[in-house]
Amino acid sequence: MSRRRVRTLFNQVLCGMARKRLILTADRWFADVKVLDLLNEMGISYIIRTKSSYKVLIAGRWRKLGTLGWHGNQRRRAWGRVWYTESDPRRVYLVQARARDGKGHWGVWHLVSNRNLSAIRMSREYSLRFTCEEGFRDGKRLLGFARARITCLKAWTRMFTLVALALLVMTTMGCALLMCTDREAWLRRVRSRRTARSELSLVRSIIELLAQDESWWHLLDHRTRLNLEASL
């Protein structure tokens, strides 16, 4: 994430929102110290996952995050404010969280922030970003964005707008589904029956229902006015 894009995002796209309301969450590829400096300068709170190979100063010694041991079955821990990156140190709040995957292997998050949050609060806040990942996946795989081969920036922008609108329509229909009293019966038609937890995103569930039952198409009305902030 370049600093120019960060400035554009908060100075133009999100300029109407108070910055104290915002918390930026991002994946480990965005944990550049220059970006962290800019977010601090702009007064933007952040929670960013970083790489296990990055070093922090713990007990007077620089150590890679991946080498920090855990106690027993410990799931989360907060290290407080530490020095981050040996080559160009910055002070950040560090939290680590882990969970086992379906094969029993540990998956670990190394989270840095400029806010002094508890380990539970920080890891929960970061976990909310995965709805964005589902949106990217659905837009690419289900709505055709991955198959687009566009070199013109204006044409790409129009295509992106169409995909965003399609996601908005699907999300609006998904919200209507969640309000139905018989939503569980509908969801059982498209999701795994092995567990009560849906393995499909809300958008994927709606697309599968549209393919199975034409009655769902009545929710698509060209006169509907979409409210981006309310729906997403």
Residue 54 pLDDT: 93
Whether 150 shows a pLDDT value over 90: the answer reads: no
DSSP secondary structure string, the chain?
Answer: --HHHHHHIIIIITTTS-GGG-EEEE-GGG--HHHHHHHHHHT-EEEEE--TTSEEEETTEEEEGGG----TT--EEEEEEEEE-SSS-EEEEEEEEEEE-TTS-EEEEEEEESS---HHHHHHHHHTTHHHHHHHHHHHHTSSGGG-----HHHHHHHHHHHHHHHHHHHHHHHHHHTSTTHHHHHHTTS-SS-SS-SS-HHHHHHHHHHH-GGGGGG--TTPPP-HHHH-
Supply the pTM of this predicted model.
Answer: 0.69
Q: What percentage of the chain has pLDDT greater than the value 90?
A: 32
Tallying the residues shown for the chain, one arrives at 232
Q: Are strands 45-49 and 23-26 parallel, antiparallel or unpaired?
A: parallel
pLDDT tens digits along 192-206: 655 555 556 778 888
Per-residue pLDDT, 176 = 77
Q: In CATH, what number does 3-128 get?
A: 3.90.350.10
Instruction: Give the Cβ contact number of residue 151 at 10 Å.
Output: 6
List pLDDT tens digits, range 1-56. Answer: 577 878 887 888 788 888 888 888 988 878 889 999 999 999 999 999 999 999 99
State the burial class of residue 73 (Cβ atoms within 10 Å of its Cβ: 0-12, 13-18, 19+). Answer: exposed
pLDDT digits (tens, 9 = 90+) for 69-124: 888 888 999 999 999 999 999 999 999 999 887 778 888 999 999 999 999 999 99
Note whether 114 and 126 are within 8 A (CB). no
Which pLDDT band, with edges at 50, 70 and 90, does 231 fall under? very low
Report domain extents, the chain. Answer: 3-128, 133-231
